[in-house]
Every structure is written in C-alpha cells, then in structure tokens.
Structure 1
Amino acid sequence: MFSVVNAVKSRLAIGAVVIPFALSLTGCGKSWDGRYEAVGYRSGEVVLEIKGSTAVRSRFQYGSLSFASEFSVEQKSDKVIFSLKGGDNATYVYAQAADDRGLKCISDSCDSMFSPLSKEWVRVDKK
C-alpha cells in the first residue's frame, strides 16, 4: 500500500508541472481584447472592438454609426489575425505597436487602398 501512495503522489507532482507548462504553449498568452481607434482619423471616427474570437470595425459620422464590418479573430501571444466575415479570403495580421498598447499591421494585405482595416490602431480603453 505504501508504494501505491508514493506512485499517486509522484503522478500528481508531475501533473502539477506538466499541465501549466502545456497551457503556456497553447497560445493562452496576451489578450488583444479591447477598444482601438484608427490612426489618421479623428478621435472616435473609426473604431475597432475586439472581444474573444470576434472584432467589429465601426465608422461613425456626425455621431451616428454609418458602417460596420465584422471579423473573425485568432489571437496569438505575439500577434492577432483578422478575417472579414462574409468577405474575401484575405487575412490581416497585426503585432503590438511600439507603444506596447496599440496594433500595427505586419501583413501586405493592409497596404491595399481598399483594405477594411487601418495599418495602425491605438488602444483607447483602460486595462
């Protein structure tokens, strides 16, 4: 009976080390969730709100919503990837901006004149 108890304790100890390590490798890093404003527009004119696996880009004119697009979001520890829902198959890859809060596009898809997302976003909510 003594050896059974020791074996169980050993397995629990191994699990206590292995499980947190495995979780750290699954992309459970930085959360990109929050509210961002597009660089180059007036404050509050073009807004991107990220929450989990969805993001909504909204454009406001004269205080009213004039247009909104929905994106699916894949969050990684060092980048976030957007895909327009119901649109083309382009993906838009962003990394953390120099201010450690905003987003900066690192894929060529943002260079298009008709890109639905701006090249840079500044975080405006507090976290």
Structure 2
Amino acid sequence: MSEEKTRVEFDAPKSLVERIDTVAEVLDIPRTQLLIDAIENKLDELANEETFRRRLSNAYYDGRTDYDTVETILGREEAMRLKFLRESIDQSSAIPELKDDLPSDDSFYDGGVCRQE
C-alpha cells in the first residue's frame, strides 16, 4: 500500500540543484528520490543524536509536540517510555492534608498530643 504523497516546493541555490541532478544522474534515480532518501537519512541521523532526542523530549513534555510525532521520529518503544515518564511527572504528589488546625506548641508539648509514657 502506497503512502499518500504531499507536494513540497522550495527554493534552493542553483549550484546545489546542479549537484543533486549530477548525483541523481550518476545513480540513475529521479531527483525526487534522491531528495527523499537524503531527507530520510538526515531524519534517521537526528533521531540517534542525543541532543536532538533531548530537544524532542522537552518539546513533548512541554506540549509543543504530540505522541504521534514522537512515535514517528523515535519509534513506538521510545515514545511509550516518554509517555509514561510524562504521565508520572504530571501526577501531583500526594501531600497529606490535616483535618483540623495544627495544635499550639503548648498543647503539643505539654498536652496530650505528644505524651511519653
């Protein structure tokens, strides 16, 4: 099954396009295929760089990117790890709450609150 395609148009320096065309001709592949391969290789390279992974993780924790994007770039296992970590960070810590006010120092130390027998 073929993935849906999106047309992308951009300006590039003429000398770069000439180099791309020369390489594509030598490899006997279309220019588009050479560009797709180069972009995929660069994305794979970035996905293995610690600095990029940290930046992507921070973007995910900050809500600037979503789970699907992380999964697409880093894979399901790493995306799940980040998801579980984010969920554990998002959980509020259990803070005990008092039912009544704190006792005064006098009643605590001299009264029945802290009695040693």
Structure 1 or 2: more helix by fraction: 2
Structure 1 or 2: more strand by fraction: 1
TM-score, shorter chain, exceeding 0.5: no
The interval holding the TM-score normalised by the smaller chain is under 0.3
Q: Which has the higher contact order (CA 8 A, sep 6+)?
A: 1
TM-score, reference length from structure 2:
0.23
